[in-house]
Structure 1
Amino acid sequence: MGRVSEPTRHPRPARRGRAARFAAGFAVLLGLVAYVTVHYVTGSKGAPRCTIGSGTNRYEFTPEQASNAATIAAVGTNRGLPERAVTIALATALQESGLRNIQHGDRDSLGLFQQRPSMGWGTPEQILDPVYASGKFYEGLEKVPGYSRLPLTVAAQKVQRSGYPQAYAKHEPDATLLSASLTGRAPAALACTADVAEGRPGDPARVRAELIRVFGEDTAPAVITAGPAAAGANAAALPPVELSVPVRSTTAPRERRGWELAQWAVARADDLRITEVSYGDRAWIADDASGDWTPAGSKSTDGSTLRIRLAR
């Protein structure tokens, strides 16, 4: 038999191919490093976000989710319900909708709690109103004897009648963090960033209406400084709109009520165009890339009022 020739090898092109791929990969890496460096140096916040807790006991969520969570908590406390009720409601909404006011679901289920118009929860328009939907959930929960002493899954299931009742349990740690902050028990625990530097100005009338709707007439704010809504005003020449919200004791001590209002305002900042919130000796500023509360200095309040500043 004749000798079988070995396949011809071309080492140089293969090496050139590897070298090209290496160079391309290195260029991408350099670009990524440059991007991260520039954003770090310039303090870019990226997409708005909110966080509660730290380390492994930490929950991160979007402004939309924070706004809905704050509404759920406010409706509960305004009904005079305990923090445990708020935790149950938040865990339920985390499971049912991920704290998003979704317009679809199993069969005709809608909204934060996936409530069904055909089952008597209300009209689609009502169910898609977070305040209404939260109120209906608490209305059902209040009918459950001893709900605050029941396991969360049991209490939630008696309201929801879900096909997967055990699924609520996995959300209890996050719901507990959220409720502690949003009911004011954990002051300055909610850290959020908000993109309000450009775009439409804040509307003090809307902020006022939202405060009254979820917390009651006692929280009707006063406008401290005039803003661009003034007739014929030059927006660039006017100071930002600043609201003074009275803080009064309810079923909770005044300081806890104040922090509930303050962290509600931060959670709603992206939607309501809030640039700064001050309460006690702490302040939250939308431009701060960390999203944290900081010492307020001269901006501090005496605890009887909450200051909210709006974008102009």
Structure 2
Amino acid sequence: MRDDDTIDDQSAPVGMTGRSDDTPSSVQVGVLREPRSPRTRLGGLLNPLRRRPAGTRVAIAAGVLCCLGAVAVTGVATLPDERAEDRAGTEAALAERGRQAASRGEARTPAPTVPATPAASPSTAVPTTAAPTPTATRTIRPRPKPRPTPKPTPKRIVPVAGLDRAQMNNAQKIVKAGRAMGVPRRALVIAVATAMQESNLYNYASGVLPESQNYPHEAIGWDHDSVGLFQQRPSSGWGEVGQLMDPAFATRAFLTALLAIPGWEDLPLTVAAQAVQISAYPDLYAQHEWRATEVVAAVLV
């Protein structure tokens, strides 16, 4: 036996401390050992694996580890919630590191390499047509068609001076043509009075000139080739048949000849009319002067 008052020192040289229990002896079985002091028991706890048989040391180590595991489990179970959360985070971090280490240790499959498409040679290049860039279309609303300007309705004048509607209409055409030429009022009176004497203000066609009957007319005469309101003759150079059948053209022809007479404004009506018409009855124009004056006044109102 050794002195139990001395704590075993594993680093001490062999032989300094005698161990009587290293060699099993049957003499020791059943012999009461003296009670060890607290120091001796403390030394045994501090160094449970001191020199003892190998089987004994393994059994003691296993028991110690089991005790430590039980204590650890008990401690974990009794940790506050905050420490449990910290431990869970730590365990998760450790597990993640372990997974990353395992993934790094695995064999990695190289990514497939996509072969570059060889550029087409100039001889085999196919021209491509660029798609047209869509452009915003502007919706154009059709403009409303302007309403046609209504044609002015000719002023319908009540016939005066014993004229009928056809005669009054022809008198209006004479006055309108003269106004367009800008002639004075006196020339209009002379023109209307002359038409009263020559045609009674009816647009005459000629039986001698069947062509004249193809134009609007109110009567047919037989005085040679005389036609129209002023009984002008195409053969005398007044104009074509169709022109002389137009009241406006016939009026312009008469007034043009009247304005060419020197001092026509101062001539009596019958003299001025005869200077233009060269009629076989020169004195008959004067009888229509008052009526012509009334008709012109009615149209010019």
By relative contact order (CA 8 Å, sep 6+), the higher-ranking structure is 1
Q: Higher strand proportion, which one?
A: 1
- Structure of higher CA gyration radius: 2
> Do they fold alike, i.e. is TM over 0.5?
no
Name the TM tier (shorter chain): 0.3 to 0.5
